[in-house]
Structure formats: structure tokens, C-alpha cells
Amino acid sequence: MAIKFGRPLERLRSVPAEAEAPAGRLDLAIRPRRNRRAEWSRRMVREHALTTDDLIWPLFLVDGVNVRAPVTSMPDVERLSIDQAVRAADRAAKLAIPCLALFPYTDPSKRDDDGSEALNADNLVCRAVRAIKKEVPDIGVLCDVALDPYTSHGHDGLLRDGVILNDETVAVLVRQALIQAEAGCDIIAPSDMMDGRVGAIRNGLDGKGFGDVQIMAYAAKYASAFYGPFRDAVGSNAALTGDKRTYQMDPANADEALREVELDIAEGADMVMVKPGLPYLDILARVKDTFGMPTFAYQVSGEYAMIMAAAGNGWLDGDKAMTESLIAFKRAGADGVLTYFAARIAEKLKKGGA
């Protein structure tokens, strides 16, 4: 009996039964395992490669000097005082990590209903941006634009009578973005999911002479259960009243993500992001295939915590799981990944081990 191949292999010669080798041996012309036999061969035919150029390293900031405060729900992640954040930036530059993303832990005494600390030109994020750009000028700095690290209610926007106000919030976000740009931020990353905020921020930046500042839009950000450890890190978990489902996306929706991305591109986004990461690889792939834009994913705190917890319990190999998860983003089409594993995987790549 001949072995039959479907298209596109039908032109290949099949092996007739009378030509078979001794019993127990299946003599096939096509053996995919040949390419997997040796390490050099696997490297040669590898379809996707992870490099340090793919990494954005999120850092959590805290007031003080020489402070490294552990985030309990995120093993090996710490809140850093500005001097320690500068040290991390220097380390990132030496590891060829191109960009840092900064997120503040705001003391509860500085939180209020309107998130007014976000508009303080001398707030923690702005001071950190200035310090990092002074000491490590060639590294990129991305700043989150949203009010949740600063509000007493933990929401990304202004809250009135239980309702998040869209347009009023956008006006505040434009001012926040301008303050960060003035401090030296390279990439403005609005994560709030208010309608129209990308266009408003783009107009605001251009109008004030910041036309070269990039915007990476959190274009498809879902109302996810995977954000919990992040909220611990920035202090919004305890403050959060209710949930964010009226502005963040429903996890059941996929076509809506394409509409959201299309709007952000039309409003002037230079790059777009899908968040969370691994549970939404299908969305990531569709966004990249549809728009061909620089497309990023955020491997969020819950994803990181799951891998670290399983590794800490000896249930899986942490390094291998880390590497495999990051390659998954590349395979799905990501141009880069925001990941708390950035420094760890960069060290591994530097040694040629990833």
C-alpha cells in the first residue's frame, strides 16, 4: 500500500509497500525529525528568535532612598526608590534592554478622588524619569498614563456617583501626559481605556512641541483577573471600589479588540498593545495580521506570578517556562513584550542560554 500525501506534498514520491525495509522499520522519504536531530540544525531552521531587543522591563517605584521593597505576590520583584531605579536602568542598558516602563506606588496620603498627584510635575514618576535620563540617557523610558495609581478609589478615571467620566478623564490624561513628556519620557502609554484619549493626547503633545514623543496605546486591554499582583505593587488593590468592566474590555470579545485597535491607530498611536498576554495570544495574532503595526503584549503580573509560584514549588522548570512563554509572544506576532522577566531572560540571552 502506498503512502499518500495531501497537498502540497502530493508531488513527492510515495514509498511502495514492496520497497519497504525490514520489518519494524517505516521507510519514509519525509522525516521532520531530521531537522531536530542536532542543536546546530535546530538553530538553523528555527522560525522565531527572542532577543533583548524584544524586551521592555517594567519597574515599580517608591519614595525614599536606597529602598528595595519586595512585592509579596510577585517573587523577585521589588519596589525601587529612584536611586535604585537608576541602578536598574544602568543594568538594563548593559544588558541591551532598550526600554523601561515606570509605575509608581503612591502613598495613600497622596491619593485623592481626582488623582491630583498625577498632575504634580515633581511626582515620583517625573523625578524618576529625570534621574534615569540624566544618568542613562540612551535608554528608552515609557510612562503609564492613567489615574489608578493616584486615585483614592483605585479607578483609572474620574469617578462621580459610581460612574467613570470619559471626557473629563481624557482632559486630565492629556495634562498628565504633558507633564511626563516635559520630564523626558520617550513613550506615552495610555492604559486607561477611555474613548478618544489617544487622539487627545497626540494633539496635546503636538501642540506643546512634543511631536517626537511616541504613543504606545493599550489598545486592547481586557478586564482581567490577572492584574491582581500589579495592583498590590502600585497600591490600588486595597483602594479599588467595584470593578473596571465599564471601560476595560470583556474577555469574551475578539472582534471588538480590532475595532479598538483601529480607532487608536486612526487617532495617532505609533504602537499598539494587547493586555494581558498569554491568555490573549489569539487577539495578539489577529491584531498583528490585520494592521501590521508595531504590536506589543504585556506579560502581566498574574502570568508572572503563576510561573514563579509553580517554579518555587518545584512543579516546573522556571527558566524553561519563562523562555517558552516569551517565545510564544514572538510566535503570535509580537514585536516586543513588557515582562517582569526582562532582566532575567536578558542575562540568559547574554550567556547564549535561551
> What whole-number distance in Å separates Cα of residue 81 and Cα of residue 60?
9
Please report whether residue 245 resides in a domain: yes
Q: What is the pLDDT of residue 246?
A: 96
State yes or no: pLDDT of 1 exceeds 50.
no
Q: What is the pLDDT of residue 16?
A: 53
Query: Over the stretch 219-238, which tens digit does the pLDDT of each residue have?
Result: 999 999 999 999 999 988 77
> What whole-number distance in Å separates Cα of residue 315 and Cα of residue 321?
11
Output the CA–CA distances (angstroms, integers) from residue 304 to 79, 222, 320, in the order listed: 16, 17, 13
Q: What is the pLDDT of residue 236?
A: 84
Confidence of residue 189 (pLDDT cuts 50, 70, 90): very high
What does the DSSP assignment read for 89-136?
HHHHHHTT--EEEEEE---GGG-BTT-GGGG-TTSHHHHHHHHHHHHS
Query: Over the stretch 5-64, which tens digit does the pLDDT of each residue have?
Result: 555 555 544 545 555 556 667 778 899 999 999 999 999 999 999 999 999 999 999 999
Q: What is the pLDDT of residue 206?
A: 98
Please report whether residue 46 resides in a domain: no
Here the CATH number for the domain that contains residue 226 is 3.20.20.70
Q: What percent of the chain has pLDDT over 70?
A: 93
User: Whose CA is closest to 101, among 54, 69, 60?
Assistant: 60
Please report whether residue 227 resides in a domain: yes
Q: What is the pLDDT of residue 304?
A: 98
Helices (H), the chain: 39-45, 82-94, 124-135, 166-183, 197-207, 228-234, 255-266, 281-291, 301-312, 318-332, 342-350
State yes or no: pLDDT of 213 exceeds 80.
yes
Please give the average per-residue pLDDT across 59-74, as a whole number: 97
Please report whether residue 127 resides in a domain: yes
Contacts of 25 (CB under 8 A, 6+ apart): none
Polymer length of the chain:
354
Q: What is the pLDDT of residue 237?
A: 77
State yes or no: pLDDT of 306 exceeds 80.
yes
Number of domains in the chain: 1
Please give the average per-residue pLDDT across 203-213, as a whole number: 98
Output the CA–CA distances (angstroms, integers) from residue 311 to 307, 308, 317, 341, 351, in the order listed: 6, 5, 6, 13, 21
Please give the average per-residue pLDDT across 284-296, as a whole number: 98
- At residue 298, φ and ψ (nearest 5 deg) are -110, 115
State yes or no: pLDDT of 342 exceeds 80.
yes
> What whole-number distance in Å separates Cα of residue 306 and Cα of residue 342?
16
Please give the average per-residue pLDDT across 132-148, as a whole number: 98
Q: Which residue segment(s) compose the domain that 315 sits in?
A: 53-350
Q: What is the pLDDT of residue 114?
A: 97
Active site residues: 221, 275
Query: Over the stretch 158-183, which tens digit does the pLDDT of each residue have?
Result: 999 999 999 999 999 999 999 999 99
Structure-block grid coordinates of residue 309:
509560584
Output the CA–CA distances (angstroms, integers) from residue 61 to 126, 128, 166, in the order listed: 11, 8, 27
Contacts of 314 (CB under 8 A, 6+ apart): none
Instruction: Provide the terminal-to-terminal Cα distance of the chain, rounded to the nearest Å.
Output: 44
Write down the residue that cell numbers 536598574 correspond to: 88
> What whole-number distance in Å separates Cα of residue 91 and Cα of residue 84?
11
Please report whether residue 229 resides in a domain: yes
Please report whether residue 273 resides in a domain: yes
Instruction: Give the Cβ contact number of residue 125 at 10 Å.
Output: 26
User: Whose CA is closest to 278, among 252, 244, 302?
Assistant: 302
Mean of all residue pLDDT scores within the chain? 93
Q: What percent of the chain has pLDDT over 90?
A: 88
Q: What is the pLDDT of residue 242?
A: 86
Please report whether residue 232 resides in a domain: yes
State yes or no: pLDDT of 287 exceeds 90.
yes
Please report whether residue 20 resides in a domain: no
- pTM, two decimal places: 0.92
Q: 332, 281 in Cβ contact below 8 A?
A: yes
